[in-house]
Amino acid sequence: MAFWIASSPHNHNHTKTPNLMRLVIYATLPGVLAQWYFFGWGNLIHIGLAMTTAIICEFTVLSLRKKPISHELFDGSAFLTALLIGICLPALAPWWVTVIGTMFAIVIGKQLYGGLGHNPFNPAMAGYVMLLVSFPLQMTLWQPPLTLVAVDLNFTNTLTTILTGFTAEGYSVEQVRTSIDGITMATPLDTLKTNTGLGLTVLESIKSPVFGENLALGWEWVNAGFLLGGLFLIARKAIAWQTPISFLLSLFICSFIGYSISPDSSASTMFHWFSGATMLGAFFILTDPVTGATSNKGRIVVGLLAGLLVYLIRTAGGYPDGVAFAVLLCNMSAPLIDQYTRPRTYGHQKGDK
């Protein structure tokens, strides 16, 4: 008989995929609740739609691929993808946007590449970017915070708006999004981009009601919720701290440099942190164990790169927010970054192959 010789690692933590996915789903709760409190039922309805679609798509593809269905269907990854898509979408977007986006994310973004663990791109972000490219009009149907909306957006109204484009009382999406003085309200990032293009200074644009008292009405609390959930994940060691920290740091440095050079045309550092999808991207999307870098040094590099890209797309790009694009670009470069940041094997000299 021979001794069983196993290679490292020798101590395992017995976390299974469903447990990890469930933990991440729970961690999004503070952010989702904040979203519900400030923006109403829209995103919850989209999350429900996305999850239903995801489960149907996953079931269909798994049975076509003759895979163990019960094992892979409930590993939670499809639910997490659907959840992220539902969170990202504009609250008043029509229902078919969610369905098409989720179908693309699950079928093409994940399963066609070979399922969980083989996908080069984060499926949720691939689906989101596909929607952003394909339906530019529908993907800008952002809803202003409930306090600014004249129409009472209760559950029924939101549901009929998503399904038919009109509230139960017959207001169209455009009317819902229009403020009392007849101007269509966009997200803070969008407003800032448009106004800067019009030649207004940042100080002038943040007088707009969508910015609220502090940074970005509603959005700051949503981001704070995701920050809280992310810190919980780091504390539970579900995600590595390197990626979010370096991402936030990089975004901070970039926006600080921009703000120092021309404070009139650049938003403050904290505005970049607490508006748009910054915190969701930092803690829930960039940290995807499949598509991100694997070494610690690599994670830091990916975070830095993503922060730079988000800042560049927000300030110089055509889209108001750039987290999704930055994530996809980082996913693409992750294998290369991994190649150059391979950790030294124990007992080997540096540079020794």
Using CB under 8 A as the criterion, which residues of the chain lie in contact with another protein when the complex forms?
2, 4-5, 100, 108, 130, 133-138
To the nearest whole angstrom, how small is the minimum distance from the Cβ of residue 161 to another protein? 15
In angstroms, how far is the first alpha carbon of the chain from the final one?
A: 34
What gap in Å lies between CA 302 and CA 337, rounded to an integer? Answer: 8
Angle of the 242-261 helix axis to the 296-316 helix axis, nearest 10: 30
To the nearest whole angstrom, how small is the minimum distance from the Cβ of residue 94 to another protein? 8
- Specify the residue, 300 or 328, whose C-beta has the smaller distance to another protein: 328
To the nearest whole angstrom, how small is the minimum distance from the Cβ of residue 2 to another protein? 5
To the nearest whole angstrom, how small is the minimum distance from the Cβ of residue 135 to another protein? 6
Question: Looking at residue 284, what DSSP letter applies?
Answer: I
- Specify the residue, 63 or 134, whose C-beta has the smaller distance to another protein: 134
- Specify the residue, 137 or 203, whose C-beta has the smaller distance to another protein: 137
What gap in Å lies between CA 316 and CA 297, rounded to an integer? Answer: 28
To the nearest whole angstrom, how small is the minimum distance from the Cβ of residue 130 to another protein? 6
- Specify the residue, 48 or 165, whose C-beta has the smaller distance to another protein: 165
- Specify the residue, 34 or 103, whose C-beta has the smaller distance to another protein: 103
- Specify the residue, 4 or 346, whose C-beta has the smaller distance to another protein: 4
- Specify the residue, 112 or 336, whose C-beta has the smaller distance to another protein: 112
Two tokens at 58?
């996953």
Burial 297-330 (b: 16+ CB within 10 A, else e): ebbbbbbbbbbbbbbebbbebebbbbbbbbbbeb
Max Cα–Cα distance, the chain, nearest Å: 85
Q: How many CA atoms lie within 13 A of 201 on its CB side?
A: 6
Q: SS3 sequence, 262-279?
A: CCCCCCCHHHHHCCCCHH
Assess contact for 176 and 92: CB atoms under 8 A.
yes
To the nearest whole angstrom, how small is the minimum distance from the Cβ of residue 129 to another protein? 10
To the nearest whole angstrom, how small is the minimum distance from the Cβ of residue 36 to another protein? 28
Structure-derived torsion over alpha carbons of residues 37, 85, 74, 57, reported in degrees to the nearest 10: 130
